[in-house]
Each structure stands twice: as C-alpha cells, then as structure tokens.
Amino acid sequence: MALPSPPLLRRIPAPAGEGGRAHIRLGAALLLLAAIVTPACAVQPDEVLRDPALEHRAREISSELRCLVCQNQSIDDSDAPLAKDLRLIVRERLQKGDSDPAVLNYVVDRYGEFVLLRPVFALHTLLLWLTPVLAVLLGGLGLWRLARRRPAVPAPTLSPSEEAEVAALLRRE
C-alpha cells in the first residue's frame, strides 16, 4: 500500500529523462560558479581607502591577520567587530606611512603572534613547524618496524607422496 504524497510534492513535475538531468546539472554548475566567483570579503564600503595602491596593501596585510573572534578566518573575511577594528588599524597605520612589515609588527606587538595566520618560523615555534614532519617520520618508522616484525611465511613443503605425484605428472608431459 503506497502512502499518499503531500499536496506540495504532487504539484511539482518530476524531471523527465535527460532534459531533467540537464537542468539539475546546469543548476549545480551555476551554484558552483557563484561560490567560486563571489569574493568572501567583509570589508565595508566606509573602510575602503581612496588610494587603490594603499587599499591593495591593506587587503594583503589583512589576509595575513587572524580574526581573534572567529580564529579560522582572516580579518578581511570576518564580520566580527574586532576584525573591523583591526582592519581600521591596518588602514590607519598605512595612511600614516608605515611599511607593510611595520604594520604587521604593530599588530603583533599589540595582540601577540596568535594574530598571524601563518606563524613565524622561530625557535619558540619550532615544534609547531616540525610536528607534521615528525608525525610522518614516526608513522613510517612504525610501519617499517611492523613489516620487519612479521615472521616470513615459510614455503609449503610437499610430503613424499605428493612429490611422487608431481614427478609422475611431469613425466607424462
């Protein structure tokens, strides 16, 4: 016994054959294109600098700084109020004539190294940088030791009657 379909579903015609599949593929392709083409920036129009070169530098610097609220986005991509404050600080420092490294150093001095999306390579971050390499090496060492520890499977030996049978078969050929 079939259950009755809800009235809303009865009104929508099912896609027929290849034509229906083509519409679905086209819709999926358009969604994918919209996701790729649409920039993910949270910069508000009132934050944008009038000088295109300074704005480009501000965007470059902002893409390297972590939003301290979201923690997985740059301040350029985040809508958090703290991210907006950081974007304004970056633009303010650039308008004062600071170089890009000076702006980054100013923000790091104020908020700590955690604000950098890519941590610096230094002695105090060495473990952070070497952990993936060490994990791969230790995993390879473990697999190598596991392979060496397994006993080799001895070749099966034939009983004297089986050897005689094989010899008889070989003589027939």
Write the CB contacts of 91 (distance below 8 Å, at least 6 apart in sequence): 47, 49, 54, 58
* Domains within the chain, CATH numbers bracketed: 37-139 (1.10.8.640)
In 3-state terms, what secondary structure has residue 74?
strand
Give CA–CA dist 168/110, Å, rounded. 90
Residue with more model confidence, 123 or 15: 123
At 97-144, the pLDDT tens digits run 989 899 999 999 998 888 888 888 888 888 888 999 999 999 999 999
Percent of the chain's residues with pLDDT above 70: 78
Q: Is the pLDDT of residue 7 over 70?
A: no
Percent of the chain's residues with pLDDT above 90: 23
Instruction: Quote the pLDDT of residue 1.
Output: 52
Give CA–CA dist 61/92, Å, rounded. 12
At 25-59, the pLDDT tens digits run 777 777 776 666 545 556 666 667 778 888 888 88
Give CA–CA dist 21/120, Å, rounded. 50
The dihedral sign for the CA sequence 76, 81, 85, 88? positive
Q: Is the pLDDT of residue 147 over 80?
A: yes
Query: 98 burial class (0-12, 13-18, 19+ CB within 10 angstroms)?
Result: middle
| pTM of the complete model | 0.54
